[in-house]
Amino acid sequence: MIRVEDLHMHFGGIRAVDGVSFAICSGTITGLIGPNGAGKSTLFNVIAGHHQPTSGRVFLGEEEITGLPPHELFHRGLLRTFQIAHEFPTLTVRENLMMVPPDQPGESLWSAWFHPGRVRAREAEVGTRAEEVMDFLEIGHLADEPAGNLSGGQKKLLELGRTMMVDARIVFLDEVGAGVNRTLLRTIGDAIRRLNKERGYTFCMIEHDMDFIGDLCDPVIVMAEGRILTEGPPDTVMADEAVIEAYLGKGGGQRPPRPVHRAPA
């Protein structure tokens, strides 16, 4: 589904992502873990089109998508959520969800004036889908609440809901469980699993909660210092010597110095 080839993202002298290659298979829930500063979020931002990579290539299916802007990726079915939930604070939860589907006729002034029937029909269709999503995530009671008033956890649910408004091919979740209480975390986890099983969504998620990861994800990719340390099923990965070392820091200074990678021109 997603294939990343030798991706580099350097900020000045900092190699936030330093030669990463991996593939995400269709229909999986891939976990991306690693200590703080490992380059997970940067990797997400590069794949999702927020940063131009220094070098390397990203493919979605067979198509190269390296450096495409976020809205183009959205149209290709690559969606993401943010570590700090993004929402349209002055729009209601329902309106937030209804904003997501692209190319609605109501957005063109021409159709708004000359095809009001078509606009209404599409609006109703999108509205029904928003109702379904809110039912699925059990946030129906918040439908007419401005999204700015939601709690942190509810905003995360709304973020997840946004990805359900279109037929996504792959969804990148950036710490969807961070700062969310246990009960809500379970709801989110259930939603992710059901989306994966029932609707065939592919997920790739950054997460710190190991139980959550172990419960949901297979395979798990471990990053440290901008590189992939190891990948595999959660049990194997979490038992891995190098992973424990990266997390607990058995003296980062003892690592052998890396050869300097030159970005291919």
Is 80 near another protein (CB under 8 A)? yes
64/72 with CB nearer another protein: 72
Choosing from 19, 37, 77, 101, the residue that interacts with another protein (CB under 8 A) is 101
- The nearest distance, CB 92 to another protein, in angstroms, is 10
User: Looking at the chain, how many residues does it have?
Assistant: 265
* 224, 38 contact by CB (below 8 A): yes
Please report, as residue ranges, which positions from 3 to 62 form the binding site for another protein (by CB under 8 A).
none
Give the pair of three-digit tokens for residue 174.
Answer: 């950036």
In angstroms, the CA 25 to CA 170 distance is: 10
Is 79 near another protein (CB under 8 A)? yes
Among 66, 65, 64, 70, smallest CA distance to 9 is for 66
- The nearest distance, CB 171 to another protein, in angstroms, is 12
Q: Near another protein by CB under 8 A, which window of 54-62, 82-90, 228-236, 241-249?
A: 82-90
Choosing from 64, 107, 125, 167, the residue that interacts with another protein (CB under 8 A) is 107
Q: Near another protein by CB under 8 A, which window of 13-21, 29-37, 103-111, 221-229?
A: 103-111
| DSSP string for 8-37 | EEEETTEEEEEEEEEEE-TT-EEEEE-STT
Task: Name the strands in the sheet holding 78-80, side by side, starting at the edge strand that comes first in the sequence.
Answer: 78-80, 170-174, 202-206, 29-33, 220-224, 227-232
Choosing from 104, 129, 178, 232, the residue that interacts with another protein (CB under 8 A) is 104
**Cα angle vertex 138, ends 190, 105, to 5°?**
105
Q: Near another protein by CB under 8 A, which window of 73-81, 136-144, 196-204, 244-252?
A: 73-81
Interacting residues with another protein (CB under 8 A): 69-71, 74, 79-80, 86-91, 95-96, 98-104, 106-109, 112, 119, 123, 148, 162, 166
